[in-house]
């Protein structure tokens, strides 16, 4: 299977990690300084307290002052990240100054220490513009704290010539890292006219405090689309009305950013109990901001005006072609189709596939609501694209569904609905909507459409859940909303991945039972809304962005190495000139 944009984005997450707690980092800094002091004492040289004064104290000063100085610029860095940065710079300075000095002689230690402080300054500039504030001028002072404290200590320990040499290296390494930052920024600037480091700042802010400032970037690269959204409106003789709607925009990219919480927002926007199934859309159709969802709400509301209601429906019927199965049920002159490939991977379908199926279906039905059940994740993979073998299987299965459903007899319709909250968190793969079930009865046959608020179902979990459903009704399917609130970093967090299926079954069973008990005679009307001018990421934008970032990461390491070698050569030249 070829790697798609989702896979390339997923691979980027290996570069992300959580900083350890700051007491642990500070403890290592202090212990490292004491060990160096102990070794110097046993060796009997002139640098007895260099471990504590030269390495630990500058790191502790940097830890204490970095957070307030960064906050003074209007940005935030956590104490854990500040401590980890101080520890990393301390370890690097020890390796670059003490190790060569022990090999080639302690006479070189002052020069090596000055060079290490220069590298510390440059590295801190790079890290702080990446994780806190991309504006270099605002990060110079916070970046200088650790090396500045080291220079002050060096002025006391070493001869007077140390200070000008160390300050010169601050300038050299500072300029080198500013040039490196420019190189890092250039690809995204040229391709998307955005600052890559500013984007990284906002992404980290999202992980830290839930900031939605990333939406500004998405809007810059976004484009308007005009998508169709089929809905079934159920009005019952008693009980709450029901809306089953199938958006063809994607509930991503992550957390509450963009359309990540699309199912919940749509659910809360209508008076009827609303089930928001997963339509045909890839990450190219991620909404750039949550405010775009209102355009979808308005379009669905407008589509309801003037629709004709029917009191009849067909029995549910299942058709298949290759690896694709589709559960079909007529509601009046409209058709609901729920597709799956489980136990094979069931992933996002390209918008064009869904629109083609809906268009072909209108030859026999007034409206076609086509659902990607999104209920089997074997891995984070590429979406299903038009003209592929799998896309062809979807098309053939849909045509078979049209043929079979067209001739099904229509019987009086009863509908029930339930909504069961679950005690599982986003981190465990469950969105805030829990489990919803739409139950139908027609011609003596009952069906249950189970919708779990999650991003896909772990492989092998859909089948035991469906077995429980089929003990209570004649036909059914397990679906997910594809909410990306359960994903903040990794794209893999499906239902059943962190919570055993045995713990999920009781809630699914409860939801189906309640929906069946809620059955009441109903009328159904269908409509296809035209959601106009919705701003999404845009065609191939995710793929282009992921490819650009991956290319950047590929060349950053060798270029950084060459630049640092050049900086050290300049340091040696400066040292010779100052002798």
User: How is 177-207 classified by DSSP, letter by letter?
Assistant: HHHHHHHHHHHHHHHHSS-HHHHHHHHHHHH
> Cα–Cα distance between 481 and 456 in angstroms, integer?
8
Show Cβ contacts of residue 507 under 8 Å, excluding neighbours closer than 6 positions. 420, 422, 434, 435
> Cα–Cα distance between 52 and 259 in angstroms, integer?
51
Show Cβ contacts of residue 262 under 8 Å, excluding neighbours closer than 6 positions. 247, 249, 250, 251, 276, 287, 293, 296, 481, 483
pLDDT band at 208 (very low <50, low <70, confident <90, very high): low
440: part of which helix (H) or strand (E)? strand 435-442
What percent of the chain shows pLDDT beyond 90?
60
> Cα–Cα distance between 312 and 297 in angstroms, integer?
27
What is the DSSP-derived secondary structure letter of residue 18?
P
pLDDT band at 3 (very low <50, low <70, confident <90, very high): very low
Does the structure show a pLDDT above 80 at 434?
A: yes
Strand 257-258, strand 253-254: pairing: antiparallel
Query: Is the entire prediction scored with pTM above 0.85?
Result: no
Does the structure show a pLDDT above 90 at 292?
A: yes
Show Cβ contacts of residue 538 under 8 Å, excluding neighbours closer than 6 positions. 221, 222, 223, 284
CA angle 511, 512, 513 (to 5 degrees): 95
Burial of 227 (0-12, 13-18, 19+ CB in 10 A): buried
> Cα–Cα distance between 161 and 574 in angstroms, integer?
12
- Side-chain-side CA neighbours of 418 within 13 Å: the count stands at 24
Cross-strand bridge partners of residue 520: 415
> Cα–Cα distance between 61 and 148 in angstroms, integer?
10
Does the structure show a pLDDT above 90 at 423?
A: yes
How crowded is residue 107: how many other Cβ atoms within 10 Å of its Cβ? 8
- CB distance 479 to 451 below 8 Å: yes
Q: Who wins on pLDDT, 446 or 159?
A: 446
Structure tokens, 565 = 């070698």
- CB distance 388 to 289 below 8 Å: no
Q: Distances in Å between the alpha carbon of 347 and those of 179, 287, 313, 543?
A: 42, 19, 29, 17
Structure tokens, 66 = 């970095």
pLDDT in tens, 164-194: 989 988 998 898 889 888 887 877 777 667 7
Handedness of CA 185, 191, 193, 196 (dihedral sign): negative
pLDDT band at 545 (very low <50, low <70, confident <90, very high): low
Q: Who wins on pLDDT, 571 or 229?
A: 229
Handedness of CA 415, 420, 425, 429 (dihedral sign): negative
- CB distance 338 to 374 below 8 Å: no
Beta strands in 474-519 (DSSP E): 475-480
Strand 317-321, strand 312-313: pairing: unpaired
Closest by CA position to 147, among listed 164, 128, 166, 172:
166
Interval 204-218 mean pLDDT: 64
What is the DSSP-derived secondary structure letter of residue 388?
S
- Say what the pLDDT of residue 4 is: 47
Closest by CA position to 109, among listed 60, 161, 64, 47:
47
Structure tokens, 183 = 């190189």
What is the DSSP-derived secondary structure letter of residue 258?
E
Least confidently predicted of 51-55, 317-321, 355-359, 402-406: 51-55
pLDDT band at 465 (very low <50, low <70, confident <90, very high): very high
Peptide bond into 44 cis (omega under 30): no
> Cα–Cα distance between 468 and 471 in angstroms, integer?
5
For the chain, what are the domain ranges? Answer: 21-208+542-578, 223-536
- Side-chain-side CA neighbours of 20 within 13 Å: the count stands at 12
Q: What is the 3-state secondary structure (H, E, C) of 391-421?
A: HHHHHHHHHHHHHHHHCCCCEECEEEEEEEC
Q: What is the 3-state secondary structure (H, E, C) of 27-70?
A: HHHHHHHHHHHHHHHHHCCCCCCHHHHHHHHHHHHHHHHHHHHH
Show Cβ contacts of residue 86 under 8 Å, excluding neighbours closer than 6 positions. 25, 29, 59, 60, 62, 63, 66, 146
Identify the residue whose tokens are 């078979």.
Answer: 400
Interval 236-253 mean pLDDT: 93
pLDDT band at 5 (very low <50, low <70, confident <90, very high): very low
Least confidently predicted of 49-53, 194-198, 252-256, 468-472: 194-198
> Cα–Cα distance between 367 and 369 in angstroms, integer?
7
> Cα–Cα distance between 408 and 411 in angstroms, integer?
10
**Continuous H helices in 210-244:** 214-221
Q: What are phi and psi of 25, to 5 degrees?
A: -65, -45
Q: What are phi and psi of 522, to 5 degrees?
A: -140, 160
């Amino acid at each position: 299977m070829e790697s798609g944009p989702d896979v390339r984005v997923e691979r980027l997450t290996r570069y992300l990690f959580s900083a350890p707690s700051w007491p642990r980092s500070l403890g290592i800094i202090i212990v490292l300084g004491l060990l160096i002091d102990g070794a110097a004492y046993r060796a009997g040289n002139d640098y007895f307290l260099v471990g504590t004064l030269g390495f630990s104290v500058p790191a502790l000063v940097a830890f204490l002052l970095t957070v307030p100085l960064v906050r003074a610029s209007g940005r935030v860095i956590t104490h854990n990240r500040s401590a980890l940065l101080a520890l990393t710079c301390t370890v690097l300075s020890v390796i670059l100054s003490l190790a060569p000095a022990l090999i080639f002689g302690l006479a070189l230690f002052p020069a090596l220490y000055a060079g290490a402080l220069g590298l510390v300054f440059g590295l801190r500039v790079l890290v702080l513009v990446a994780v806190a504030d991309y504006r270099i001028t605002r990060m110079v002072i916070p970046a200088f704290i650790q090396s500045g404290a080291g220079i002050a200590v060096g002025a006391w320990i070493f001869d007077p010539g140390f200070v000008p040499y160390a300050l010169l290296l601050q300038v050299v390494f500072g300029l080198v890292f500013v040039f490196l930052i420019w190189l890092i920024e250039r690809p995204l600037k040229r391709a998307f006219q955005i600052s890559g480091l500013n984007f990284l700042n906002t992404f980290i802010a999202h992980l830290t405090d839930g900031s939605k400032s990333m939406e500004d970037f998405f809007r810059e690269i976004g484009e308007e689309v005009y998508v169709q959204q089929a809905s079934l409106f159920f009005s019952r003789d008693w009980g709450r009305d029901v809306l089953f709607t199938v958006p063809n925009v994607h509930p991503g990219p992550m957390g509450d950013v963009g359309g990540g919480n699309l199912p919940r927002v749509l659910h809360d926007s209508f008076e009827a109990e609303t089930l928001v199934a997963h339509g045909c859309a890839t990450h190219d159709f991620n909404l750039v901001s949550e405010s775009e969802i209102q355009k979808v709400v308005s379009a669905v509301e407008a589509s309801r005006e003037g629709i004709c209601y029917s009191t009849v429906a067909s029995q549910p019927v299942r058709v298949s072609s290759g690896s694709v199965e589709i559960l079909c049920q007529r509601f009046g002159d409209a058709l609901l189709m729920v597709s799956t490939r489980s136990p094979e991977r069931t992933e996002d379908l390209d918008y064009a596939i869904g629109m083609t199926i809906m268009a072909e279906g209108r030859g026999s039905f007034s409206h076609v609501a086509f659902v990607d059940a999104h209920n089997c994740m074997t891995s984070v993979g590429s979406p299903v694209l038009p003209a592929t073998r799998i896309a062809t299987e979807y098309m053939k299965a849909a045509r078979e569904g049209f043929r079979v459903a067209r001739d099904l007899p229509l019987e009086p319709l009863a509908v029930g609905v339930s909504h069961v909250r679950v005690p599982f968190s986003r981190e465990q793969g469950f969105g805030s909507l829990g489990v919803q079930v739409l139950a139908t009865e027609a011609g003596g046959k009952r069906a249950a459409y189970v919708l779990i608020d999650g991003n896909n179902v772990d492989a092998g979990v859909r089948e035991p859940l469906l077995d429980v459903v089929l003990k209570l009704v004649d036909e059914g399917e397990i679906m997910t909303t594809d909410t990306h609130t359960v994903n903040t970093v990794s794209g893999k967090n499906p239902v059943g991945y962190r919570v055993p299926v045995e713990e999920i079954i009781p809630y699914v069973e409860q939801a189906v039972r309640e929906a069946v008990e809620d059955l009441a005679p109903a009328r159904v009307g269908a409509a296809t809304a035209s959601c106009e001018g919705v701003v999404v990421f845009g065609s191939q934008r995710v793929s282009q962005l992921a490819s650009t970032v991956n290319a950047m990461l590929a060349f950053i390491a060798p270029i950084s190495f060459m630049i640092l070698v050049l900086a050290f050569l300049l340091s040696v030249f400066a040292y010779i000139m100052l002798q």
